Structure 1
Amino acid sequence: MSADTPETSVDYRETVFLPETEFPMRANLPKREPEWLERWARIGIYDRLREKEGRPSFVLHDGPPYANGHLHIGHALNKILKDFIVRSQQMMGHDSRYVPGWDCHGLPIEWKIEEQYRAKGLNKDDVDTVAFRQECRRFAEGWIDIQREEFKRLGVTGKWEKPYLTMDYHSEAVIAEEFMKLLMNGSLYQGSKPVMWSPVEKTALAEAEVEYHDHTSHTIWVRFKIASGDVKPSMNLPIALEDASIVIWTTTPWTIPQNRAVAYGPGITYGLYFVNSVAENSSARVNEALVLADNLAESVKIAAKVENWTRLREVATSEFEGLKLYHPYAGIEGGNGEWDEPVPMLPGDHVTDDAGTGFVHTAPSHGDDDYQLGLKFGLAMTYNVEPDGCYRASLPVFGGQAIIEADGKDGPANVSNIKALHAQGALLAKGKLKHSYPHSWRSKAPLIYRNTPQWFAAIDVKLDDGMGSYGDTIRTRALTSIDTLVQWTPPTGRNRLYSMIEARPDWVLSRQRAWGVPLTCFTKKGAQPTDPDFLLRNAEVNARISAAFETDGADVWYTPGFKEKMLGNIVNPDDYTQVFDVLDVWFDSGSTHAFVLRDRPDGTKDGIADLYLEGTDQHRGWFHSSMLQACATKGRAPYRGVLTHGFTLDEKGMKMSKSLGNTVAPADVIKEYGADILRLWVAQSDYTVDLRIGKEILKGTADSYRRLRNTLRFMLGALAGYSEAEALAPEAMPELERWVLHRLAELDETVRAGYTAYDFQGVFQSLFTFCTVDLSAFYFDIRKDALYCDGPESLRRRAARTVLDLLFHRLTKWLAPMLPFTMEDVWLSRFPGEENSVHLEDFAETPAAWRAPELAAKWEGIRRARRAVTAALEVQRTAKVIGASLEAAPVVHVEDAGLEAALKSVDFADICITSDLTLTTDPAPSEAFRLPEVPGVAVVFETATGEKCERCWKILPDVGSHAHAQTCQRCNDVLG
């Protein structure tokens, strides 16, 4: 066919090097991801990585989730973040090991078994303890298997076939050993003090097991009549102080029977108020005198429905010294003298005039401030409240009444006390108050403070254990560790934990339950807790206990004859009592550093983790207990780094709740989108604050994923048939390719620094922007012509494919920690093979010589000018003047001579994807297009002249003048 017969179109599609790839546009992740999981297990990825020798260790120690239910979105966030770190550290050259674990003991599991018993009409207390514990063990085992598969489905890598469990026999033995270190170093003691107590669960709770919810409490204002005759009035007035009543205010009427004093504030100004008139239904009395803090008198007047009163005088706090008050129940019918002893007035620094009356009713058995005041002044403790939250049966008037019922609702105790106070003439006023109140985070029932003998770890006792490098008490070691040994991500975590440990009381170690590691100790019969020989401290006994647990688990503690077996031939077993409380589960999880990091072959040489990672609630939980436990038994923090993440919320920022119907289950997201979309949601989020998730957010995440997938798919297609023989050295490449190499060198530094700092959002955003803006919208857009239409030996095409190969090796590996399924798919699409995996690779080394800052600066100017041209062409496309940019041949006016030189040094028409382009420094006409953000550049639109090349679609004057019909010179030469 001759060149002068253009009316017959020739189909050159088969001659163009269009992308070729079997990598599908649709990911179909829900169906295909399980195939990758099965493949990774089959070829043993995790264990093969361990075979890489000579690599520095990095260990993220898993905070154990609780084995009692399906995973929620918070679990997914936590485990995905951990996986980002484990995978990225491995690919940056570490031996990055991850041993998943489970917390198996404790009340939540025990509670579930008790519920099953109650449903069958059985009582837990009637069941053999060992049999009950074995049911708890089976329950935990079942949920571990379920959760393991759910975690693996998220794409989380780790030693899944050999996790750690706090209920493994070795774990139980080590937990007991760690406890016995406290026994031996003198920090363990038994004390009787008020602790947070759950009447529903019949056990003490640690602060970490407490959550706060709104609760409506009874409030009462109560008169305490002055009983002392040695009152020292400061002036002669008709009303003497001994004729007045001291008024207290409390939100716990049930504690009134336990009152042992009234506290006042030494710095508060008090007044004597004489009641002149009262409203109807007021419990106040005309002509009575009340002592109140001046700042609170008005609020009391309103509550008591006093219409008018007179402040007679100020009452100096010195007048309270030595003063005694009648208990409100003094002389009560049926009281049997229980409350006839007057109670003292005592100064207390905890008393304020912010709320109440300025006087604090003091029940040392039911509040920490009260307890501390009682210690200072020798007040008697009371034991009126039983483990189930009822008054002891022998308590006069109120015996057997419940404070909190078994179902968590208020019992009759509060109302009974209010009625009794009213009958005694002691009730000045009553009301209701909605306020934040402590609840069990398991049963969700309200808690009380209850005085009960418990076992404590003293955190301020000096320890002579040879581990004093960071202090000689648990508290000082912890505070020193926080400040000098641990890196905090984000840094605010340091202040949070420091303030908690700085102010915390001794650690309540004991729980009155059955499913856990027992407090492996014995007390001497007849001895007092303060006696030196109260606790049996014997290394041989401890070794026997540890060996027994190692062989048969902690259940043996509950078998008949165990005490005799442990103590025989050492001491007389009959002289000692075996303790049957179990350890706080936070001690279990706090001890994991010993049986995981220290004892496992895949642990660490020094028993210290590189990183602990959990939610912000674990400053009072696992981070906290691990710190205290390790400082007690190894002298320092068990971690070098701590990372905390926020909580998950719905799209409106609301807390997720089944009752609100706004929960997002990981399984549902995976079923609809696949795990990589859930992982991408994590990567795109700022985990240092609370994260939102919902349908619309996930749709946006899926859209980002599609854009990224298309970028990778283009690369795969453009690299079809690529071999190393095509590769060009950087110095032989055009400037555009060298600019891409410069960006890769920049990104290499950004990615490594980001992964090192756990800034996954920063890493992903940098890569996503690079893929969508620098590559898809710029580099790929420009080089499609060369890739499709240049000949195989074209330097430009070879350079582009060389760069694409370099891009491929970096992008797939950089993204693999975040999107492991997709990057494996991409990798195997190019490098198939049963033993191949992107997850066996390290991040590619990127030569520093690729950096070219001067070239980058030049190309920044070129890209700015290109934006002005493409914006001008978009105006013409929108107006339907042209259909494609190749129909244009614009004139570009450039004011800056340096920029003009830069543009002339490259094929700017090629960069702008136009068939032709003219550059000039002549002044632009007024009608020229200008982009405000690109000053000094103006564009005059012109259409391209010539014919359209049927192969590359450029419009050029020479089309139709070559051997191959309707081709340009370049295409004609390629066709040969």
Structure 2
Amino acid sequence: MTEATDTQRDWRDTVFLPKTDFPMKAGLAAKEPAILERWARINLYQKLREARAGRERFLLHDGPPYANGDIHMGHALNKILKDIVVRSQSLMGKDAPYVPGWDCHGLPIEWKVEEAYRAKKLNKDEVDPVAFRAECRAYAEKWVAVQRGQFERLGILGDWDDPYLTMKFDAEARIAAELLKFAETGQLYRGAKPVMWSPVEKTALAEAEVEYEDITSTQIDVAFEITEAPNAPELVGAHAVIWTTTPWTIPVNQALAYGPDVEYSLFELKAGALEEPALAGLAGKKFLVATALVPTFLKRIGSAWDNSDAVDVYYKGGWALEGAVARHPMHALGGFFAKPRPFLPGDFVTTDAGTGLVHMAPDHGEDDFLLCKAHGIDPVFAVDGAGMYRADWLWLGGQGSVINKKFVSAEGPICSDLRAAGALLAASDDFQHSYPHSWRSKAKIIFRATPQWFIPMDKPTPSPLVGEGRGPLAQASGKGEGDVSATPSTPPHPSAPSALPPSPTRGEGNMPTLRAIALDSIERTRWVPERSINRIRAMVEGRPDWVISRQRAWGVPIALYVNRATGDYLRDPAVNARILDAFRAGGADAWFQADHQALLGPDYRAEDYEVVTDILDVWFDSGSTHSFVIEARYGEGVRANLYLEGSDQHRGWFQSSLLESAGTRGRAPYDAVLTHGFALDGQGKKMSKSLGNVVDPLKIIGESGADILRLWVAQTDYFDDVRIGKEVLAGTGDAYRKIRNTFRYLLGALDGFGEAEKVAVADMPELERYVLHKLAALDAELRSAAEAFEFNRYARALGDFMNEDLSAFFFDIRKDCLYCDAERDPKRRAYRTVLDLLFHALVRYAAPILAFTAEEVWQARFPSEDGSVHELEWPVLPEGAAVEHDWTAIRALRQTVTEAIEPYRREKKVRSSLEAEVTVPSLPMPAEELAELFIVAKVEHGGEVTVTPTQRHKCGRCWRHLPEVTQDGALCDRCAEVVS
């Protein structure tokens, strides 16, 4: 110990405090752009490709966002999660390229260009289609550039110099080639079945382009007079009552449907039961309604009558209506309306609502279409693309629109005419229900029969083109020519159900259907989370045929020639080869500018063929991207390891990609699919400009930096919907500061550390070996989480280790050793050796999530002109970190001691734990070592944990209370030796 004359000296200049220029304040918003510029300058993405060349490849195929508008929080969530996956796979030593892409065709872009036309009072239909397409292309190019910069600012590392765009000429040629594969194998047909149609956008829509909103509609009850009833003559002259919430379909009615097993009542209304004067005309008339629905029908028409007042009530099963015929309420108009309306048996007719009788308009309903088609009744196409009745239609010709509320209201022209004809029994504008809307225009859609192109789901199909030598569309697969097996050969994924379902249903010639191949492929795919398989399976099981045609201008045309005499489309590999050559040279515009005789060649006459001008559903475009992104870049037959998108893509991109690949390759285009939820506001509500609750990722980046958003993404349970708002971001900011301070401590504590200072694991104190043991456990947990794509588990484990195992435990205990031990002391060297191992491991672990901060941390210790933390691979940890004691019990006892001391601190009986002496029930290791671990003056064996203020004096350098210190301010033996 020192002499008393030294007790007043300030020993701070002899303490080895951490030194670092790494700032506590992050300033990410200012620093990150410079880091991005550096990555671009050293061409980090290409350096990684060269460094990982020949390694196991991991391909995450980027689902293309629309090139339309600034990015939103959903974009940020999706792209950051993808980047974390890709960077973690690269960290694990794989070649993990990332090719970003954009969906450039379709309504989102065309609609915006049309808006500009409408603002100038111009008609898009009067513009040359090629010129209009050029404007759409320019619009897409503009937003690709904008979004590219915004995505890069998030820290997304990818091939930004060569992204894929569905509007590139080669991509358009590939999309056309995929379509022609379906055509060559007979997997296309043109039909006129009802599809979802937007009268505002004047095109068919896919299910993924539709959203449902609650609305209030007009409901009406309409009487159809029965003119023939072979099985029940008493029905003649009575009125069959139908109920509908789409009054605009009455002018297109062609039949009535009944339930064969439904019981119906025929009744005559008494004059005294009709309270409303307007109902006086119904007295003495007979009506036919399902028995179970008579009370609700009577309530709708405002009658006080009930079944007990019935006059001549007949109870008949639906069989009595077989062969019956009614006439349309507007039969007096003649023509179409004078034709008899047959009663048809429909198993879809129920008594859940309405009247138990359903009016059939095959133009405007799936059930209507199928039932009428089965009885030889075809659509009449009375409603045009804008929702107007065509000009020559006898009733309401040239009028509409059918989605206009005033037009279809109880006082509108349809109801007024029906009322005048004595057929309108009830009408009210108060029926509330959910109804489909276009998610772009937000306008109501209708079901409308139009000639469209379909890919059938249940038609037995020939095998996909997999053999060589099969024309210009043939795909090399390693199989010999003539191998026509269409059953997917890929084994089930380990996470798929252990027992596969029965073999896909096969049709004629033992050929499977597209639905069967798709369902089999679903079972062979890994779905993350596992429960998401139920969603995609149910959607594919129940989906209708795929409508692939759109009546728009901007997109890839359905490049087919239809024989005018036979109605069949041309299937000639030589013609298809010329078409694709033209697309490669001039893009899809080539179809609209083509010399079609030249494309058809000498074997066909152009005048014999109709040139199809419909464009492809944009989901077919994006569903084909695997062909020109994965296969074109990495080889035919290669498929993506992972698709990663929001849960809405089970009915969108996941499904369209599955169907496209199943129809052309007999399998899914992916090995695994990860689904994440949606980004909601801080209260769990959907973000909406009208609600003013939109959280802008660009604003967050500008204020706090992208790493805060990246950490938020990693910390969320993104398999479900996630929340983001001020409170959530405040919590993320706190978590970030703790991580940053851990790195700052490591950098400062490792100042001047070199190879010569390192200590072998076997020579380290047990505390250091225990921390390495914990690091190994963390390493295994992080690798497991990364492989499972569970980055919330990854981030939580990493944060807990840094906060609980390091900052609150290891660093806290060893700060005395770091500050006060001699520089060459073996324990201090062992501690700094472990700190070095921790640094190398933790900066790597953090890099996939905190891409910018990890780079800043790495460069702070190992500055380099062209190096990057992201070139590093998963750390290799030292072996042999064995421990002798039960550290779980020791840490629990330490926590108990800390809690026991806290009241003494609050009451100022001790100023720090160093001033406390404690007794503990047992001594799991020597008392002196426990005193160091507990950071107290002394530990003794006793009963329960007790605390006593120490009477020992405090060392003036290390502030420990030790027996050899004779008075406060003097030095302990260790400190005296260090400063001597």
The reply on whether 1:653 has 2:680 as its aligned counterpart is no
How many equivalent residue pairs?
A: 928
- CA deviation after TM superposition for structure 1 residue 289, in Å: 2.4
Whole-angstrom CA distance in 1 between matches of 2:377 and 2:908: 93
| Higher mean C-alpha deviation, range 883-892 or range 701-710 | 883-892
Contact 2:927 2:940 in 1 (8 A): no
* Structure 2 SS opposite 1:636: coil
Which residue of structure 1 lines up, in the alignment, with residue 605 of structure 2?
Answer: 572
How many angstroms apart in 2 are the aligned matches of 1:663 and 1:420?
A: 47
Q: Who is 1:475 aligned against?
A: 515
Q: Is the 8 A contact 2:229 2:323 kept in 1?
A: no
Partner in structure 1 of residue 930 of structure 2: 908
| C-alpha displacement of 1:849 | 4.1
Q: Distance in 1 between matches of 2:23 and 2:245?
A: 66
Partner of 2:956: 950
CA contact (8 A) 1:521 1:579 kept: yes
Look up the equivalent residue of 2:423 and give its one-letter code. A
1:344-394 per-position Cα deviation (integer Å, ceiling 9, x unaligned): 111111111111111111111110011111122222321101111100101
Instruction: Give the share of equivalent positions with the same residue, in percent.
Output: 51
Helix, strand or coil for the counterpart of 2:217? strand
SS in 1 for 2:941: strand
Deviation per CA, 1:535-590, whole angstroms, max 9, x where unpaired? 1111111001101111111111111x521220131311121111111000101000
1:651-675 Cα distance to aligned partner (Å, 9 max, x none): 1111100011000111011111110
**Structure 1 residues 171, 578: CA separation in 2 closer, same or farther (over 3 Å shift)?**
same
Range with bigger deviation, 820-829 or 307-316: 307-316
Indicate which of 325, 344, 348 corresponds to 2:342: 344
Distance 1:575 1:337, change over 3 A: closer
**In 2 relative to 1, CA 966–774 (structure 1 residues): closer, same or farther, beyond 3 Å?**
same
CA contact (8 A) 1:264 1:347 kept: yes
2:810 is aligned to: 779
Contact 2:928 2:939 in 1 (8 A): no
Q: Does structure 1 retain, via aligned residues, the 8 Å contact 2:276–2:303?
A: no
Contact 2:247–2:408 at 8 Å: present in 1 too? no
Q: Secondary structure at the match of 1:678?
A: helix
User: 2:33 maps to what in 1?
Assistant: 34
Does the CA contact (< 8 Å) of 2:261 and 2:319 recur in 1?
Answer: no
Q: CA deviation at 1:91?
A: 0.4
- 1:512 matches 2:551: yes
Alpha-carbon distance, 1:941 to partner: 1.8
1:640 is paired with a residue whose SS is strand
SS at match of 2:640: coil
| Cα distance in 2, alignment partners of residues 511 and 281 from structure 1 | 50
Q: Distance in 1 between matches of 2:143 and 2:830?
A: 55
Question: Is the Cα contact below 8 Å between 1:511 and 1:581 reproduced in 2?
Answer: yes
Paired with 1:756 and 1:404, the residues of 2 have a C-alpha distance of 53
SS at match of 2:610: strand
**SS, match of residue 890 in structure 1:** strand
Provide structure 1 residue ranges, at least 5 long, that are not aligned to the other structure.
234-239, 529-533, 895-899, 925-937
- Give 1:868's aligned residue: 896
Q: After superposition, where does 1:630-641 map in structure 2 within 5 Å?
A: 630-641=661-672
Q: Relative to structure 1, is the Cα distance of residues 10 and 173 closer, same or farther in structure 2, using a 3 angstrom cutoff?
A: same
Contact preservation (8 Å) 1:872, 1:939: yes
Counterparts of residues 445-524 of structure 1 (less than 5 Å): 445-465=443-463, 466-470=484-488, 472-484=512-524, 486-524=525-563
Residue 973 of structure 2, aligned match among 956, 969, 973: 969
Query: Hey, what does 2:907 align to over in structure 1?
Result: 879
* Amino acid in the other structure paired with 2:289: L
Instruction: Name the CA distance, whole Å, in 2 between partners of 1:409 and 1:698.
Output: 44
TM-superposed CA distance for 1:888, in Å, is: 1.3
Q: Distance in 2 between matches of 1:293 and 1:903?
A: 86
Q: Deviations over 1:216-256 (max 9, x none)?
A: 211111111111053426xxxxxx33242211110111101
Q: 1:225 and 2:225 equivalent? A: yes
Amino acid at match of 1:942: T
CA gap of 1:779–1:823, structure 2 versus 1, over 3 A, is: same
Mean alpha-carbon deviation: is it higher for 80-89 or for 794-803?
Answer: 794-803
| Residue 956 of structure 1: how far off its partner (Å) | 2.0
Classify the secondary structure of the residue corresponding to 1:97: coil
Kindly report which structure 2 residues correspond to 1:468-867, keeping only aligned pairs within 5 A, or say none.
468-470=486-488, 472-484=512-524, 486-528=525-567, 534-559=568-593, 561-600=594-633, 603=634, 606-847=637-878, 849-850=880-881, 855=885, 858-867=886-895
Corresponding position of 2:86: 86
Tell me, in whole angstroms, the C-alpha distance in 2 between the residues paired with 1:443 and 1:614. 24
- 1:604 CA drift (Å): 5.3
Pick from 263, 267, 272 the counterpart of residue 257 of structure 2.
Answer: 263
Task: Tell whether the 8 Å contact from 1:409 to 1:445 is kept in structure 2 after alignment.
Answer: no
Cα distance in 2 between the residues matched to 1:851 and 1:522: 75
Distance 2:327 2:210 in 1: 36
SS in 2 for 1:125: helix
Q: Which AA in structure 2 matches 1:382?
A: V
Candidates 941, 950, 958, aligned match of 2:947: 941
Q: Could you report, residue by residue, the CA deviation over 1:251-282 in whole angstroms, capped at 9, with x for unpaired residues?
A: 11110111111111123222223323122255
Give the distance between the partners of 1:9 and 1:281, measured in 2 at CA.
Answer: 109
Which residue matches 2:493? none
**What is the alpha-carbon distance in structure 2 between the residues aligned to residue 650 and residue 337 of structure 1?**
57
Name the stretch that deviates more: 261-270 or 809-818.
261-270
The alignment status of 1:318 with 2:336, answered yes or no, reads no
1:298 is matched with 295
Residue 598 of structure 1 aligns with an amino acid whose one-letter code is: E
SS at match of 2:269: strand
Report the AA paired with residue 971 of structure 1: C
Distance 1:29 1:370 in 2: 61
Matched residue SS, 2:580: helix
Contact 2:558–2:612 (Cα < 8 Å) also in 1: yes
Question: How far apart are residue 917 of structure 1 and its match?
Answer: 2.0
Secondary structure, aligned partner of 2:37? helix
Instruction: Decide whether the 8 Å contact of 1:282 with 1:304 is kept in 2.
Output: no
Secondary structure of 2:192's counterpart equals strand
In the alignment, is the contact (CA less than 8 A) between 1:19 and 1:714 conserved in 2?
yes
Structure 1 residues 732-752: Cα deviation after superposition (integer angstroms, max 9, x where no partner):
111111111111111111000
How big is the alpha-carbon RMSD for the aligned residues of Structure 1 and Structure 2?
1.7
CA distance in 2, matches of 1:413, 1:537: 49
Matched, 1:17 2:13: no
Q: Comparing 40-49 with 80-89, which one deviates more in the overlay? A: 40-49
**Would you say the 8 A contact 2:238–2:285 is kept in 1?**
yes
Q: 1:940: how far off?
A: 2.1
Task: Report the CA distance between 1:960 and its aligned residue.
Answer: 4.9
Whole-Å Cα distance in 1 between the matches of residues 432 and 545 of structure 2? 30
Q: For residues 164-184 of structure 1, give each alpha carbon's deviation from its aligned partner in whole angstroms, at most 9, with x where no partner exists.
A: 000000000111111111111
1:527, distance to aligned residue in structure 2 (A): 2.5
Length-normalised TM-score, structure 2: 0.93
Q: CA deviation at 1:464?
A: 2.1
SS of 2:936's equivalent in the other structure is: coil
Confirm or deny: 8 A CA contact 2:221 2:425 kept in the other structure. yes
User: Could you tell me which amino acid in structure 2 is paired with residue 948 of structure 1?
Assistant: K
Distance verdict in 2 for CA 1:501–1:954, change over 3 Å: same
Q: Distance in 1 between matches of 2:772 and 2:560?
A: 67
Gaps of 5+ in 2: 464-483, 489-503, 505-511
Instruction: Give, in whole Å, the separation in 2 of the partners of 1:797 and 1:4.
Output: 28
Q: Spell out, residue by residue over 1:141-181, the C-alpha distance to the aligned partner (whole angstroms, 9 max, x if none).
A: 00000000000000011101110000000000111111111
Asked whether the 8 Å contact 2:407–2:414 carries over to 1, the reply is: no
Matched residue of 1:956: which SS? coil
Could you give the per-residue CA deviations for residues 824-879 of structure 1, whole angstroms, max 9, x where no partner exists?
11111111111221100011023564365x64xx0111111111111111110011
CA distance in 2, matches of 1:904, 1:274: 101
Deviates more, 1:603-612 or 1:749-758: 603-612
Query: Deviation digits for residues 32-83 of structure 1, max 9, x if unmatched?
Result: 0001101111111111111123310000000000001000000000000100
